[in-house]
Amino acid sequence: GTGIAPMRALLQERSHQRKKRRIGSKNVGKNVLYFGCKTPHQDYLYEEELKDFEKEGTLNTLRVAFSRKTEKKVYVQHLLADDADETWTLVEKEKASVFVCGGTKMGSDVSETLRSIVAEAGGMSADEAKAYLDKMSSEGRFVQELWSA
């Protein structure tokens, strides 16, 4: 859950754009958020605010991974892999930007999942998928803000 602060700020800005500047969703693109934490009761930070962003239309999709809610641990990269086709469409066809914020281990796992999605859905080799993500990064479309404890 440590990566939620930058994402929250982005959603607040998008909400402001929609409300005050009357900029429609088409002009700012879709907002899809993957959020991971241990349990919904202990550390699901800003749950109500995120649900409000959904209700008002600022947040199109909210996917939450709780790693300690069930016996089988579910992480953000698992949800991302489940949404591989939609992710590829957003990244390739809609030229979406991807921001990964949080711990270094999570960032590494999410990056690897994204590389796999690009390779499989884009019909690329592992090296081509890496080059694709490197290009996205150089264009400012793939940004990682990661830290370790």
According to the model, what pLDDT value does residue 70 have?
82
Q: d(Cα 83, Cα 98) in Å, to the nearest integer?
A: 14
Nearest to 10 by CA among 109, 138, 143: 143
- pLDDT 10s digits, 27-64: 678 999 999 999 888 888 899 999 999 999 999 999 99
**What 3-state DSSP class applies to 143?**
strand
Q: How far, CA to CA in Å, does 66 sit from each of 9, 39, 114?
A: 22, 5, 20
According to the model, what pLDDT value does residue 105 have?
93
**Confidence (pTM):** 0.90
Q: Is 11 exposed, middle or buried (0-12, 13-18, 19+ CB in 10 A)?
A: buried
In whole angstroms, how large is the CA radius of gyration of the chain? 15
According to the model, what pLDDT value does residue 45 have?
83
Q: d(Cα 98, Cα 87) in Å, to the nearest integer?
A: 10
pLDDT band (50, 70, 90) for residue 17: confident
- pLDDT 10s digits, 59-112: 999 999 999 888 889 999 999 999 999 999 999 999 999 999 999 999 999 999
Q: How far, CA to CA in Å, does 45 sit from each of 18, 51, 58?
A: 23, 11, 18
Phi-psi region of 102 (alpha: psi -120 to 50; beta: other; left: phi over 0): left
Least confident piece of the model among 18-32, 70-84, 133-147: 18-32
